[in-house]
Amino acid sequence: MNNLIKKLLILVLLFSTFLTAGFESALKKQKFLSPDEAFQVSAVLKEGVIETKITIGGRIHVYDDDTLHYRIISPEPLELAVNKPKSHDFDGDMVFEKELIVSIPVKDIESKVKGDYILEIEFLGCSDAGICYQPIKKSFNFKGVELGVFDKISKLVKEGNASKIMDVLINESSLFVLFLFFIFGLLLSLTPCIFPMIPILSSIIISQQSGDGKPNMAQAFFTSLVYVLAMAFTYTIVGLVAGLLGADLQAAMQNPWVLTIFSAMFVGLALSMFGYYEIGLPASIQSKLSKASDDAQGKGMLGTAVMGALSALIVGPCTAAPISGAVIFISHTGDALLGGAALFIMSLGMGMPLLLVGLGAGKFMPKPGGWMTRISQVFGVMMLALAIFMLSRILPAGFTMTLWALLFMGTAIYMGVFGNKEGEGAMKLFRLLALTFLLYGASLFIGALSGSTSVLRPFVKFTAVTSVASTVTEIDTSSHLGYSVKRLMEEVKASEKTVVVDFGKDSCTACTELEEITFPHPLVQEQLKNFTFIKIDLTANTDDDKALLKKFELFGTPNIIFFDKENNFLPEKSLTGFIPPKSFAKHLEGVVK
């Protein structure tokens, strides 16, 4: 009996060994197709229709669900609604086998997308043998309808890559370039950077009025024109020198001594606007100047021109993408004449609101009287704001916030927020504005005491807003100064992620906007988790700082550049100027794809 059991066990073991060997042999003979073998994708343009075809390998299927997409990924994202053939059921899922052909009318794309575009097809496929492939993405480039002049302008206005703007400039006619830069100038005139010039010019126009008559429109406009032309010539010279010599002359005007002196000048002008004293030349000199001048329009024009030039250098906007594109254009082509003319035309566009101020001062302002005292006081407040704005570049952020708080609270008190007189009509609105200033000033003061440095979010220390450094891998958070090309590349090579490098400086308004608005945004925070974030402060403008800008062909700040995981610089992904949070988040998503 025992022998029989032993024989049965031996037979069972032999049979099991045979089955196992056969199964392993079958596995060795089983060969799965590679993704390129399993799915062959094509997209061909034929007679106004893009014919797409996915040829599917044997015993393989593609799912007809939310994993199947036909979309445009450039120049802007666009999900396409396509007509697919009928799918069939496979183990409870709707799938395609053998081939999937989809025709996309070109008109459906070109009605929504201008210029060249990239079509992307994304799908998920599995083998009947039990293996599922990673999601497949295939992209195809197509030529779109040639953009018209206004379409090109619209596209470039949204573009934040200075090198791409430069490429367009090189391939376009001179007239188009000049017209384009005039449009850029008009758009830049709508940014906060141009607003500080308005009270300066307005105070100049008012100070040059004489007598009790209605202000002369021609004189006011001529004063504005001199101011704008001086500003335009200054930007042109700065751009030409920067392009030809690689210099950032505006940085030289950010010296603490220069900023302190001009801030003191604005404080002095503000006090005179409040009526504490009058600023004027000695009577003898005024008499000689009056005698030498037969034309009232010529009074103070030299001073107006000087003020326009200084405003361009000190109060002017940080370098933005259009300016960088022009500067790179000059340096690459050597066409200083066209580049200079483009910057001059752009500056005229930036100055259009200032010219309107001149026209309005002469046409719409009533005769001098008590109202001018109020206007002078308003300009006085603006002058103090300009002084704080310039000092913010060299003072600690917390102290600057305190100055802003005092300005808003002082303005509210000056407006009579605690007055006992009952106002009617517009006076109630005036008191409401004063109360708003008081509350905002108090908020800034409390925020400064709490350690906040943001005038946009004074209570940030009391909220749960997450900082950039907490969600982004950042190298050397202790200091953003002292970077060189060597140090930057060492940190790039040390990173296992895609690297984003932010170049900024204290004197750059757009840099502050990036820090306060864009980087802390939740959408941006989520995307930045995939990056190593390096911030470089170029405020000192050292030789190493200049070498960094030259290395990556950058002009001024803010500039954001990228390196892939293999440490390759990605110039086509670079950004210049302020980028809104949602646009920046989309750009980051495209970088890591």
Place 131 in a pLDDT band, splitting at 50, 70 and 90: confident
- Closest C-alpha to 196, from 360, 307, 116: 307
Beta strands per DSSP E along 75-221: 78-79, 88-90, 93-97, 99-105, 117-123, 125-127, 136-142
Other residues' Cβ atoms within 10 Å of the Cβ of residue 225? 18
Quick one: what percent of the chain has pLDDT higher than 70? Answer: 65
- Burial of 402-436, coded b for 16+ CB within 10 Å and e otherwise, reads bbbbbbbbebbeebebeeeeeeeeeeeeebeebee
Instruction: Tell me the per-residue pLDDT of 380-423, one tens digit each, with 9 for 90 and over.
Output: 787 788 788 778 777 777 888 899 999 999 888 888 787 666 55
Instruction: Tell me the per-residue pLDDT of 474-484, one tens digit each, with 9 for 90 and over.
Output: 444 446 778 89
Q: What share of the chain is helix, strand, coil (3-state, %, to 5)?
A: 55, 15, 30
pLDDT for 174 beyond 70: yes
The pLDDT of residue 468: 44
pLDDT for 84 beyond 90: yes
Residue 104 to residue 388: CA distance in whole angstroms: 58
Instruction: Tell me the per-residue pLDDT of 438-457, one tens digit each, with 9 for 90 and over.
Output: 898 899 888 888 877 777 77
Q: Where are the chain's structural domains?
A: 37-142, 157-281+292-390, 395-463, 468-592
**Long-range CB contact pairs, 486-491, < 8 A, 24+:** 488/534, 488/536, 488/548, 489/567, 491/532, 491/534
Bridge partners of 560, per DSSP, are 502, 575
Place 19 in a pLDDT band, splitting at 50, 70 and 90: very low
The pLDDT of residue 29: 46
| Same fold yes or no, 37-142 and 468-592 | no
Place 63 in a pLDDT band, splitting at 50, 70 and 90: very high
Place 166 in a pLDDT band, splitting at 50, 70 and 90: low
For residues 66 and 144, the answer to whether their CB atoms sit within 8 Å is no
- Burial of 261-284, coded b for 16+ CB within 10 Å and e otherwise, reads ebbeebbebbebbbeeeeeeeeee
The pLDDT of residue 18: 47
Place 101 in a pLDDT band, splitting at 50, 70 and 90: very high
Q: In which residue are the tokens 């001009």 written?
A: 262
| Listed ranges 93-97, 364-368, 569-573, 588-592; the one with the highest mean pLDDT | 93-97
Helix residue ranges per DSSP H, 246-335: 249-252, 256-273, 283-292, 301-310, 321-333
The pLDDT of residue 159: 57
- Closest C-alpha to 516, from 526, 504, 501: 504
Which residue would you say has higher pLDDT here, 66 or 314?
66
The pLDDT of residue 40: 94
For residues 506 and 394, the answer to whether their CB atoms sit within 8 Å is yes
Q: Rounded mean pLDDT of 111-122?
A: 87
Give the range among 143-147, 537-541, 546-550 with minimum mean pLDDT. Answer: 143-147
pLDDT for 570 beyond 50: yes
Place 139 in a pLDDT band, splitting at 50, 70 and 90: very high
Six-digit token string for 474: 């950042």
The pLDDT of residue 50: 94
pLDDT for 241 beyond 80: no
DSSP codes joined into one string, 400-446:
HHHHHHHHHHHHHHHTTTT--SPP-THHHHHHHHHHHHHHHHHHHHH
CATH number of 37-142: 2.60.40.1250
Other residues' Cβ atoms within 10 Å of the Cβ of residue 378? 15
pLDDT for 127 beyond 50: yes
The pLDDT of residue 382: 78
For residues 333 and 326, the answer to whether their CB atoms sit within 8 Å is no
What's the fold here for domain 468-592? Glutaredoxin (3.40.30)
Six-digit token string for 282: 């000695």
Sequence-ordered list of residues with C-beta below 8 angstroms from that of 120, at least 6 positions apart, any chain: 69, 70, 71, 72, 73, 137, 138, 139, 140
60 phi/psi in degrees, rounded to 5? -130, 145
For residues 138 and 116, the answer to whether their CB atoms sit within 8 Å is no
Q: Rounded mean pLDDT of 235-264?
A: 66
